[in-house]
């Protein structure tokens, strides 16, 4: 009997202690809200400061325009014959350095990787002389349709780079710097379901963005064409030498077929401009900006200011409370 009364007493004490803790928590929450309410003017001031700063930042951001082209991998003529030869004479062709495999999808994927490579990007920038528009463009003048350059980086009147940098960098940006910047504004992707390829450029000028996309398509088609023609010519030279050295009729017949396929590759490359990619939807001059989203920037600044304002108020309160406790 005494044990039961003791257990009941302990349970009552536990419940009462638990209720007191809940009450203390409620008091703490009320006190917390009271502290925030007392520091509302500081929170409002910090929030206002961040809101104004975000608005100023958003206004000063230049409009970025996006130009995009939709491409389809070009069908490789003669691929049926190549596939047949690959099944029959693939071993001999590989020894000769002749490429009988690889359909249009593989060639298109290779072209995309070449497009993103350092060598192609460097050649593209130097060929079209776009380094100032890439590295020093500040904004775009819609009235005159001209790119406005950053005077601290590039002197357009004297065609001179004036940026101040530390060694090993120079006033004129290197191709490594240009490649990094170009990679950030270039987008090249393949749709896994349809196989279609999208190439896009972001720039402060919609005209520059559209022009660069067109140049990229032309140059990648030309580059891949030159690579295949060079490979086919080398393979043809090798096969011709083998024909002169062998007298076996069956081997000569195989070599003649391989030479014929390489001749077809050279012929199709020279007569077709859209060698790897066919343009389905060409790049256009965008009338609407792609970014930045100034409204989102302002909203984020407002929320961040309110959050930091509340944190500052609470930190000040707890520091004051701790110092008071230590004094007592």
Could you tell me the maximum CA-CA distance found in the chain, to the nearest angstrom?
117
Residues in a beta bridge with 186 = 201
Top pLDDT among 220 and 34 is at 220
pLDDT at 68 over 90: yes
pLDDT band at 325 (very low <50, low <70, confident <90, very high): low
Q: What's the pTM?
A: 0.75
Q: Which residues contact 31 (CB under 8 A, 6 or more apart)?
A: none
Block residue for tokens 């004490």: 13
Residue 111 phi/psi, 5° resolution? -65, -40
Average pLDDT over residues 44-59: 92
Residues ≥6 apart with Cβ < 8 Å to 23: none
Residue matched to tokens 């002197």: 155
106-110 contacts, C-beta under 8 A, 24 or more apart = 107/73, 107/76, 107/224, 107/276, 108/73, 108/74, 108/190, 108/195, 108/197, 108/276, 108/277, 109/190, 110/224
pLDDT band per the 50, 70, 90 thresholds, residue 272: confident
Q: Whole-angstrom Cα distance, residue 75 to residue 107?
A: 10
pLDDT at residue number 93: 47
Percent of the chain residues topping a pLDDT of 90:
43
Other Cβ atoms closer than 10 A to 78: 16
Cα 88 from Cα 95, distance rounded (Å) = 14
Residue 288 above 50 pLDDT?
yes
Which pLDDT score, from 0 to 100, does residue 292 have? 86
List, in order, residues 6 or more apart from 172 with CB less than 8 Å away: 131, 161
Residue 318 pLDDT > 70: yes
| Mean pLDDT of the residues in the chain | 82
pLDDT in the model for residue 265: 78
Angstrom distances, CA of residue 278 to CA of 71, 75, 197, 262: 5, 9, 10, 22
Mean pLDDT of 250-270: 80
In sequence order, what DSSP letters do the residues of 96-122 get, joined into one string? HT------HHHHHHHHHHHHTSHHHHH
| Contact call for residues 265 and 99 (beta carbons, < 8 A) | no
Residue 118 confidence (pLDDT) above 60? yes
Q: At what angle do helices 206-245 and 249-271 cross, to 10 degrees?
A: 160
**pLDDT band of 266, cuts 50, 70, 90:** confident
Per DSSP, 62 falls in state P
Q: What is the pLDDT of residues 228-239, one digit of tens each?
A: 888 888 888 888
| Confidence band of 184 (pLDDT split at 50, 70, 90) | very high
**pLDDT one-digit tens code per residue, 129-139:** 999 999 999 99
pLDDT over threshold 80, residue 71:
yes
- Within the chain, strands assigned E span 65-73, 137-141, 146-149, 154-155, 160-161, 186-190, 197-203, 277-281
Structure token digits, residue 172: 């004129």
Ordered DSSP codes for 250-317 = HHHHHHHHHHHHHHHHHHHHHH-S-SSEEEEE-----SS--B--HHHHHHHHHHHHHHHHHHHHHHHH
- A 10 A CB-CB count for 176 gives 11
């Amino acid at each position: 009997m005494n044990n039961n009364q003791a257990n009941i007493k302990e349970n009552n004490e536990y419940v009462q202690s638990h209720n007191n803790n809940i009450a203390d928590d409620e008091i703490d929450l009320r006190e917390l809200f009271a502290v925030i309410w007392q520091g509302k003017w500081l929170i409002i001031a910090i929030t206002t400061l961040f809101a104004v700063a975000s608005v100023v930042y958003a206004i000063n951001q230049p409009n970025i325009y996006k130009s995009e082209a939709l491409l389809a991998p070009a069908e490789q003529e003669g691929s049926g014959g190549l596939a047949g030869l690959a099944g029959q004479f693939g071993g001999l062709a590989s020894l000769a350095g002749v490429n009988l495999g690889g359909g249009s999808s593989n060639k298109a994927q290779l072209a995309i990787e070449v497009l993103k490579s350092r060598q192609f990007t460097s050649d593209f920038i130097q060929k079209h002389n776009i380094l100032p528009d890439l590295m020093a463009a500040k904004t775009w003048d819609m009235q005159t349709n001209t790119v406005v350059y950053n005077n601290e980086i590039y002197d357009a009147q004297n065609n001179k780079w004036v940026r101040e940098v530390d060694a090993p960098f120079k006033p004129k940006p290197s191709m490594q710097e240009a490649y990094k910047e170009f990679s950030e504004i270039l987008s090249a992707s393949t749709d896994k379901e349809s196989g279609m390829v999208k190439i896009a450029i972001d720039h402060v000028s919609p005209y520059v963005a559209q022009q660069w996309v067109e140049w990229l398509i032309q140059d990648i088609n030309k580059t891949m064409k030159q690579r295949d023609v060079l490979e086919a010519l080398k393979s043809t030279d090798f096969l011709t030498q083998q024909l002169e050295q062998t007298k076996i009729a069956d081997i000569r017949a195989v070599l003649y077929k391989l030479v014929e396929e390489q001749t077809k590759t050279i012929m199709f490359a020279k007569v077709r401009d859209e060698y790897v990619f066919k343009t389905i939807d060409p790049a256009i001059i965008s009338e609407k900006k792609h970014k930045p989203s100034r409204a989102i920037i302002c909203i984020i600044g407002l929320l961040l200011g309110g959050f930091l304002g509340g944190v500052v108020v609470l930190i000040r309160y707890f520091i004051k409370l701790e110092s008071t406790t230590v004094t007592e």
